[in-house]
Structure 1
Amino acid sequence: MAGSNQGISIDGRRQRGERTRLAIIDAALSLQEEGILVPTAQQISDRAGVLIRSFFRHFDDMETLFKAADDQLRDSYEALFIGGDRQGSLKERVNRAVERRSAAFEQLKNVVLGTKAQLWRYETLRTNYARNQRGLRKDLEVWLPELQDLTEVDCESIHASASFEMWHRLRSEQGLSLEASRTVVISLLMALLTSD
Structure 2
Amino acid sequence: MDETQSPTKKGAADGRVQRSRRSRQLIIEAMLDLINEGVLIPTAQQVADRANIAIRTVFRHFSEMEQLYNELDAQIREHYLDLFRGGDRSGTLDTRLQHAIERHANAYTTLSPVMLATRALLWRSPTLTKCYEENQQKLRIDLDNWLPELKEVSTATREAIDAIASFDFWHRLHVSQSMSKSASVKIIADLIKSLLDDDRC
| Equivalent of residue 126 in structure 1, options 124, 129, 152 | 129
Report how far residue 108 of structure 1 moved. 0.8
Partner of 1:189: 192
Partner of 1:38: 41
- SS of residue paired to 2:23: helix
Question: Could you state the TM-score of these two structures normalised by the residue count of structure 2?
Answer: 0.94
Give me the whole-angstrom Cα distance separating, in 1, the residues matched to 2:31 and 2:102.
28
Tell me the amino acid that sits aligned with residue 92 of structure 1.
T
Give me the whole-angstrom Cα distance separating, in 1, the residues matched to 2:55 and 2:73.
21
Q: Runs ≥4 in structure 1, deviation > 2 angstroms?
A: none
Q: Are 1:23 and 2:26 matched, yes or no?
A: yes
Give me the whole-angstrom Cα distance separating, in 2, the residues matched to 1:140 and 1:3.
58
Partner of 1:171: 174
Tell me the amino acid that sits aligned with residue 124 of structure 2.
R
Tell me the amino acid that sits aligned with residue 115 of structure 1.
T
Partner of 2:58: 55
Tell me the amino acid that sits aligned with residue 18 of structure 1.
R
Give me the whole-angstrom Cα distance separating, in 2, the residues matched to 1:118 and 1:31.
14
Give me the whole-angstrom Cα distance separating, in 2, the residues matched to 1:145 and 1:163.
18
Report how far residue 194 of structure 1 moved. 2.2
Partner of 1:94: 97
Question: Could you state the TM-score of these two structures normalised by the residue count of structure 1?
Answer: 0.96
Percent pairwise identity: 45
Q: Are 1:5 and 2:8 matched, yes or no?
A: yes
Give me the whole-angstrom Cα distance separating, in 1, the residues matched to 2:5 and 2:94.
70
Aligned residues: 196
Partner of 2:81: 78
Tell me the amino acid that sits aligned with residue 93 of structure 2.
L
User: Which residues of 2 match residues 94-113 of structure 1 at below 5 A?
Assistant: 94-113=97-116
Deviation string for 1:65-93 (max 9, x for gaps)?
A: 00011111111111111111111111111
User: Which residues of 2 match residues 152-163 of structure 1 at below 5 A?
Assistant: 152-163=155-166
Deviation string for 1:3-33 (max 9, x for gaps)?
A: 1111111111111111111111111111111
Give me the whole-angstrom Cα distance separating, in 1, the residues matched to 2:95 and 2:66.
41
Give me the whole-angstrom Cα distance separating, in 2, the residues matched to 1:11 and 1:124.
31
Give me the whole-angstrom Cα distance separating, in 1, the residues matched to 2:29 and 2:141.
29
Gapped regions of structure 2 (runs ≥ 5): none
| Equivalent of residue 150 in structure 1, options 137, 148, 153 | 153
- SS of residue paired to 2:143: helix
